[in-house]
Structure 1
Amino acid sequence: MYDTFLLLLQVLGALGIFIFGMKLMSESILKLSGEKLRSIMGSMTTNRFAGIITGFFITCLVQSSSATTVMVVSFVHAQLLNLTQSIGVIMGANLGTTITAWIVSLFGFKFKVTAIAVPIIGIGVALSFLKGVKRRHLGGFLTGFGLLFLGLGELKNSVPDVKSNTEVLEWLASFSQYGFASIIIFVFLGTLLTVVVQSSSAAMAITLTMANLGWLNFEQSIAIILGENIGTTITAWLASLPANTAAKRAARAHFMFNIIGVIWVLILIVPFSNFIHWLYDFSTSFLPWEKLGSERTDLTNKLALFHTTFNFANIILLVAFVPRIATLVTRMVKDKDTGQEGTFQYLHSYNLRAGELNFQEATRAVQRLGGITQEMFEKFIDVYEHPDKDMSSQVKELNALEKESNVLTDELTEYLIRCTSDEVSEETRERAFSYMRVASELEEIGDCCHRMTNRAVRRYKKNRLVTDAAEKEVIQFGKLVQRFIELYSSKLDSEVSAADMEMTLDFEQAINEKRKELRKRSVGRMMESPDNVKGELLYFDIVNTFERIANHARNVMQGLPKKID
């Protein structure tokens, strides 16, 4: 009993080293090139075929289909990708994750991995202590790469030999006595394994290790691999349960794509297996398999070939049906009328393992917040300009925008804090801090618009109006402030140049001077007509609020990232 418990701990420890190494690799790559990856994804808005290529490339680079899927959901939520395009990226991610199987099969069992892993870890750790952010990230990548192979080697050494554990082998063999039902059993085991370890790459490493050591034959292994393809979608589906509609649809599309693939392969399991054997034998004429692996790794090479061929064939078969899959999952996951579609799905699913790639959603939220303030100010001007009309509907809309602004600011701030605590580059971290300041200033502008609207409504209800000429001056003043708001709204998705800052200071100075001028005229009117002091005070308050909005607008421009000339 003690020996069994110790063996289990050794296997878990080896698996932990493998998973941690892969996580460190993925995070380091994201820190090195997260901005470029976001640019690649952001520019990929053409068609599903471009999406497949993009998904394959990014997953090969970050070695995590989960990270790619998380990014896809983020871009769908931010409306940078539609559902059809996102399914293409998910297809490519499925193909990209097969690279892990090839790495494990071709290098994990051919060499004495500790002889490779330890020097790589040494180089990576040394680079991690050097100056320069890129060197440190490169060091993290090499350290993770070395840990991946070290964990794989420990996993191979921890799994007991078949000859000394014949009873376990007989127990596994007993599941192969039920014909097609045996395949279903092993599919279920593969699904369960992936859900337990929460990593299809780790589950694949375990499967290939057991196959290499003789615990599993080809038929059992491919059934487990099919189960792993289902298991990796279940983890994403579970993570999307508390998330928004876009997240649920993307996760459901991932599940539909993989489950359809597993079904047709199970129906054609015999001819497809024969095709893999033939393809492997045929490839020996131009690929030196005997140099890439030994007789024992011949099986693992075939399994890696099966995994790649299955995912590639599934893409070929289903790529034409992507619009139908999108329509199906749209019907399965209905739009909500709860008003929560503006919130962050990752704030609810707490899945920030790819914060670098998710950051595009924060940018989109800042733009939305800026759009809200612009819309609120325009509605205020509309209300102020028509004292003789019933503007109750506009006031209700403005109140709803103010509530949305408060909710969005709170969630955006929490989201940015989570992003900065996640593994992101220094550039992204600095941008997150600047967005926190910008979000706070934008919320203040929204509050100012809300307060001014309430004061305007009070003026009309109590008939505390000033002269027609003074009312027109307020409208003109408001148009000047509105142009300032339009300036910062146009810069929320870009960098602020020196010319932009010069224009900002010009706006602020012009608004300050206009406020002083209108205040002076208001004081003069109060001295001439002291009976309307309350009306003038409300007028006075709105004029002062315009200046406060200008100050917040200046702070927004100062808080945004600056363009280096």
Structure 2
Amino acid sequence: MSVNDISSLFGFMGGLGLFLYGMNTMADGMQKSAGSRMSQFLGMLTNNRFMAVLLGAVITAIIQSSGATTVMVVGFVSAGVLNLTQAVGVIMGANIGTTITAWIVSMNQLGDAYSILQPSFCAPLLVGIGAVLLLFVKKQKTRTIGEILVGLGMLFIGLDFMSGAISPYTDAPIFSEAFRILGNNPILGMIIGALVTALLQSSSASVGILQTLAMNGVVTTNAAIFITLGQNIGSCVTALISSIGSSRTAKRAAAIHLSFNVIGAVIFGIASFLIFIAMPNIADHNITAVQISIFHTVFNLTNTCILFPFANQLVKLSGMLVPEEKKGPEESGDQESETMKHLDERIFESPAFAVETAAMEVVHMGQIAMENVQLAIDAVISKNVNKAKDVYKTEKTINNMEKMLTEYLVKINNLSLTEEQKIIVNNLFYSINDIERVGDHAENLAEQAEYMAEHEVAFSETGISDLKVICQTAFQSFSHSIDARRRGDMDEVRKVIKYEDEVDALEEELREKHIERLSTGECSTAAGVVFLDLISNLERISDHAYNLAGYVKNEM
């Protein structure tokens, strides 16, 4: 091997590295630019399968990886956010969305009119502009645009490096012989395509490499078709690996992705093989990068159209491929297990979705705390010891959820987040702490309920009436604070502020009235101490509700 050969090898490896890194950087920037809009996609998803296909295509076009989209789908199915029927549509759409990268790669072969899009022409300019925006502009949105431009430029430069490294060897017999063998053996071609994609963990990247070879005129049509079909099968490997150790439902989602691509590859593989036998001149003809893009797009669109009506059958097939198993602890149904299922790290493939999932679970924790507050209030009013004990049990759940959510948010905080997402994550940290403190105050209320029952402490009718009023007002304040986080609604924030002011005024008024009742002997000293402790805890619950609403207000 000569120095030139080693130099070409280094050039190809460097080009491949730049291509992969550029693709990742561009996808990261595009995802950031989508921002909170990506978190709204799930809300658009209904049982309308067409909408699910569209959603899958859009998400994959943004994050530039069907494998990443499918990994997220496995996570969402595992978390119970999506059902399998919805997942089928998203998976179909992901295969369509991944064709965007192939078109980006083939831009420089679209003709003279598109010469400005050639890597050698525009890539240095894109990197230069992007670097200026990243280094000298402080505005986050502008910096994100710079990140996209740098990624796109590096992708093009990487392609140029790979193409330049291969071009001296285009006449080498090894290329023509290799693609002749692959073209005459469909199964071998598919296996090679699947293996390369599995190793790179990206069908977009493996298709890009194939297109780079096609740019140098060494790829035959039949070989390219079979390799591309194999690349689509190989894209399933990431999701299959991701589903290991998951729930049966998550494994079925990965099986749906695999069966969808395998069925499509078999149909197209057989059809292509027969066409090539009938027209050998087409089979042996060299294929261009643009033609690979066209085939890649036609295959995924046609495959989706063919299998779209059979989504329910794909779900049934996945049930046969992944048989029933014993019910594991993750399916036990308690609140902590549900939270563990929802906090699936596969969703980290998209930081926007990860932040949204964390916010949903903070709301879930808040709703549990809210139910516990109501249970504690009922225990106080009725002096019910059994209800008080139930409050203690739920408080343990709230404490465990606080630990799980905090650990999850720490991991999210280490992802590539926008400034807005960082603010939300910080506020979620604070929100968890406030909700946990509300749980503590509910526990304090339950302890007072037990004390009242044990020592037969009784309030006057006026005292009970006043207590019910402040209990209801404090509960409303907390309830609206959780709704404010769930909906991101300023109207709910204003309601919290209104109720919090009422609780403060009530606490001061009731404290004075109760002291008067003590002085007139209308209430016992023991009852007085309990009453003052109760209204103090209720006022603190309202304070934490005010904090929760303030975090939501801060994000608007």
Q: What band does the TM-score fall into relative to the shorter chain?
A: 0.7 to 0.9
Match of residue 146 from structure 2: 139
Q: What secondary structure is seen at the aligned counterpart in 1 of 2:458?
A: coil
For the structure 1 residues 19 and 504, does the alpha-carbon distance in structure 2 shift closer, same or farther, using more than 3 Å as the test?
Answer: same
Identity %: 28
For the structure 1 residues 400 and 69, does the alpha-carbon distance in structure 2 shift closer, same or farther, using more than 3 Å as the test?
Answer: farther
For the structure 1 residues 230 and 373, does the alpha-carbon distance in structure 2 shift closer, same or farther, using more than 3 Å as the test?
Answer: same
How do residues 323-472 of structure 1 correspond to structure 2 at under 5 angstroms? 323-329=312-318, 332=322, 336-338=330-332, 339=334, 341-343=337-339, 348-349=344-345, 352-387=348-383, 391=386, 395-396=389-390, 398-460=391-453, 462-467=454-459, 469=461, 470-472=463-465
- State the distance in 2 between where 1:308 and 1:275 align: 24
Q: Which amino acid aligns with 1:476?
A: V
8 A Cα contact 2:133 2:143, kept in partner: yes
- State the distance in 2 between where 1:300 and 1:366 align: 48
Q: What secondary structure is seen at the aligned counterpart in 1 of 2:478?
A: helix
Matched, 1:547 2:507: no
- State the distance in 2 between where 1:416 and 1:273 align: 54
Match of residue 197 from structure 2: 194
Matched, 1:12 2:13: yes
Match of residue 316 from structure 1: 305
8 A Cα contact 1:127 1:136, kept in partner: yes
Q: Which amino acid aligns with 1:484?
A: S
8 A Cα contact 1:187 1:227, kept in partner: yes
For the structure 1 residues 173 and 563, does the alpha-carbon distance in structure 2 shift closer, same or farther, using more than 3 Å as the test?
Answer: closer
8 A Cα contact 2:224 2:287, kept in partner: no
**Pairing partner for 1:126 from 110, 132, 138:** 132
Residue 146 of structure 1 and its aligned partner are, at CA, apart by 1.0
Residue 428 of structure 1 and its aligned partner are, at CA, apart by 2.1
Residue 371 of structure 1 and its aligned partner are, at CA, apart by 1.2
Q: C-alpha deviations, 1:344-403, integer Å up to 9, x for none?
A: 668554662420243321231222122112111122223333336x736x844x445434
Residue 537 of structure 1 and its aligned partner are, at CA, apart by 4.0
Q: What secondary structure is seen at the aligned counterpart in 1 of 2:331?
A: coil
**Pairing partner for 1:474 from 467, 480, 483:** 467
For the structure 1 residues 132 and 296, does the alpha-carbon distance in structure 2 shift closer, same or farther, using more than 3 Å as the test?
Answer: farther
Match of residue 29 from structure 1: 30
Q: What secondary structure is seen at the aligned counterpart in 2 of 1:487?
A: helix
- State the distance in 2 between where 1:480 and 1:438 align: 20
How do residues 198-347 of structure 1 correspond to structure 2 at under 5 angstroms? 198-213=201-216, 216-243=219-246, 247-271=250-274, 298-329=287-318, 332=322, 336-338=330-332, 339=334, 341-343=337-339
8 A Cα contact 1:515 1:547, kept in partner: yes
Residue 233 of structure 1 and its aligned partner are, at CA, apart by 1.5
For the structure 1 residues 493 and 274, does the alpha-carbon distance in structure 2 shift closer, same or farther, using more than 3 Å as the test?
Answer: farther
Q: What is the RMSD computed on CA atoms of the aligned residues?
A: 3.7
| Structure 2 residue ranges without an equivalent (≥5) | none
Matched, 1:515 2:507: yes
Match of residue 116 from structure 1: 122
8 A Cα contact 1:495 1:562, kept in partner: no
| Structure 1 residue ranges without an equivalent (≥5) | 282-294
For the structure 1 residues 500 and 61, does the alpha-carbon distance in structure 2 shift closer, same or farther, using more than 3 Å as the test?
Answer: closer
For the structure 1 residues 8 and 408, does the alpha-carbon distance in structure 2 shift closer, same or farther, using more than 3 Å as the test?
Answer: farther
Q: C-alpha deviations, 1:436-469, integer Å up to 9, x for none?
A: 2222211211222234224423543x24422363
Q: Which amino acid aligns with 1:391?
A: N
Q: C-alpha deviations, 1:299-337, integer Å up to 9, x for none?
A: 433332322222112111211121333355467376742
Match of residue 287 from structure 1: none
- State the distance in 1 between where 2:261 and 2:100 align: 17
- State the distance in 2 between where 1:237 and 1:399 align: 41
Q: C-alpha deviations, 1:101-147, integer Å up to 9, x for none?
A: 23323426976622331122122222333353332222221111111
For the structure 1 residues 495 and 350, does the alpha-carbon distance in structure 2 shift closer, same or farther, using more than 3 Å as the test?
Answer: closer
Residue 183 of structure 1 and its aligned partner are, at CA, apart by 2.6
- State the distance in 1 between where 2:524 and 2:318 align: 62
Q: What secondary structure is seen at the aligned counterpart in 1 of 2:338?
A: coil
For the structure 1 residues 35 and 148, does the alpha-carbon distance in structure 2 shift closer, same or farther, using more than 3 Å as the test?
Answer: same
Residue 432 of structure 1 and its aligned partner are, at CA, apart by 2.0
Q: What secondary structure is seen at the aligned counterpart in 1 of 2:486?
A: coil
Number of residue pairs the alignment of both structures matches: 541
**Pairing partner for 1:152 from 149, 156, 159:** 159
**Pairing partner for 2:484 from 467, 471, 491:** 491
Match of residue 63 from structure 1: 64
TM-score by length of structure 1 reads 0.83
Q: What secondary structure is seen at the aligned counterpart in 1 of 2:485?
A: coil
